[in-house]
Amino acid sequence: MTRRRFYRFLKYLFLFIAALLSLFPLVWMAVSATNASVDVVTGRLLPGKHLIENYRKLSQQANVKLAMVNSFRNSIVATFASLVVCSIAGYGFEIYHDKGKDFLMRLLLLSMMIPFAAIMIPLFMMVGKFGLLNTTTAFVLPTISTAFLIFLFRQSARYFPSEIIEAARLEGMSELGIFFGMYVPIMRSTYATAGIITFMNAWNNYLWPLIIMQSKDSIVMPILISNLIAGYVTDYGVVMLGVTLSVLPTIIIFLLLQNSFAEGILSSMK
């Protein structure tokens, strides 16, 4: 019995240490955002009073407001465009499927094995050729359509009852009307899942904007925080405030919609 108790104790100890190690960097980040750099390097782990001071310094070094606005605009446009284009396609591939469309779907799935690093140079050249450098359009265009999302919506359309479609057709609804009027409202949870994943990917995208967003006006949050550490002297309070601001939106989404988030991750194995 005592041995079993000991194992139980070990189990909880292990889990608590794991949870602590998992949370600590984030807690440290948030706490350090409110402290002066001197306090951060001397190991202060309590919230301080330098938050406003840090924000003032951060604003002097970088245009946080602009980066936030740009990041939100790019991510929202990317998410909206992506959901519309991919869900219509996913629905089309399932509801009207025939040999030709099934073949095309299999072909599109092959795009999932193309790593971004392999195509970034041609993409950059394309964007440059069309004069789209530093634009939201350039940021969004290559990320709108992904085989993963099309596949996700195709799978969900499989559970869309065909009786509904038949009934709606008899009532004279147009095909596009059925999609927007019947499918979209029923599949809200799929849209939530897909939306979270797409938004987070767009928000966190670093390499693509690093290449194409070269002007000061088009700066986004990942680039901004990456620039903060480029100098010789690092003000930890300021850097951590920048990082905290950049992860805040995704952490809030995560905490509110943890289950949809997990589902989105898991849908890649279905």
Partner 1 sequence: MGQTLTLRRRQSLIGWLFIVPASVLIFVFYFYPIVRALWLSFQTGVGVNLQYAGLFNYQRLLSDNVFKLSLTNVFIFLIIQVPVMLTLALILASLLNDPTLKFRGFFRTALFLPCATSLVSYAIVFRSLFALDGFVNYLLTALSIIDKPINWGGNPWTARFLIIIALTWRWTGYNMVFYLAGLQNIDTSIYEAALIDGASGVTRFTKITVPLLKPIILLTTIMSTNGTLQLFDETMNLTNGGPANATLSVSQYIYRLSFQYSPRFGYAAAISFVIFILVAILALIQMRVGDTR
Please identify which residue in 6, 13, 69, 111 interacts with partner 1, judged by CB under 8 A: 111
Query: What residues numbered 213-232 form the site for partner 1, per CB under 8 A?
Result: 222, 225-226, 228-229
**Based on C-alpha coordinates, what's the Rg of the chain?**
23
Query: What residues numbered 243-262 form the site for partner 1, per CB under 8 A?
Result: 243, 246-247, 250-251, 253-255, 258, 261-262
When the beta carbons of 14 and 159 are compared against partner 1, the nearer one is 14
When the beta carbons of 121 and 167 are compared against partner 1, the nearer one is 121
Count of residues engaged in binding partner 1, rule: CB under 8 A: 90
The answer to the question of residue 207 lying near partner 1 (CB under 8 A) is: yes
Q: Which residues of 142-174 are buried (b: 16+ CB within 10 A; e: fewer)?
A: bbbebbbbbbbbbebbeebeeeebeebeeeebe
Please identify which residue in 23, 69, 164, 186 interacts with partner 1, judged by CB under 8 A: 23
Query: What residues numbered 122-161 form the site for partner 1, per CB under 8 A?
Result: 122-126, 141-142, 144-147, 150
The answer to the question of residue 28 lying near partner 1 (CB under 8 A) is: yes
Tell me how far, at minimum, the Cβ of 74 lies from partner 1, in Å: 14
Token pair in block for residue 38: 């001197």
Tell me how far, at minimum, the Cβ of 217 lies from partner 1, in Å: 20
The answer to the question of residue 172 lying near partner 1 (CB under 8 A) is: no
When the beta carbons of 100 and 185 are compared against partner 1, the nearer one is 100
Please, are residues 90 and 157 in contact by the beta-carbon 8 Å criterion? yes
Residue type at 103?
F
In Å, how far are 16, 17, 193, 252, 258 from 22, measured between CA atoms?
10, 8, 24, 17, 16
When the beta carbons of 119 and 186 are compared against partner 1, the nearer one is 119
Please identify which residue in 25, 131, 172, 185 interacts with partner 1, judged by CB under 8 A: 25
Q: Which residue's structure tokens are 């008899």? A: 170
192 burial type by CB count under 10 A (0-12 exposed, 13-18 middle, 19+ buried): middle
Piece of 37-45, 46-54, 61-69, 180-188 that binds partner 1 (CB under 8 A): 37-45
Query: What residues numbered 67-106 form the site for partner 1, per CB under 8 A?
Result: 85-86, 88-89, 91-93, 95-98, 101, 104
Please, are residues 48 and 35 in contact by the beta-carbon 8 Å criterion? yes
In Å, how far are 21, 65, 103, 182, 231 from 34, measured between CA atoms?
21, 19, 56, 49, 21
DSSP label of 183: I
Tell me how far, at minimum, the Cβ of 134 lies from partner 1, in Å: 15
Piece of 72-80, 130-138, 186-194, 201-209 that binds partner 1 (CB under 8 A): 201-209
Rounded Cα distance, 171 and 8, in Å: 63
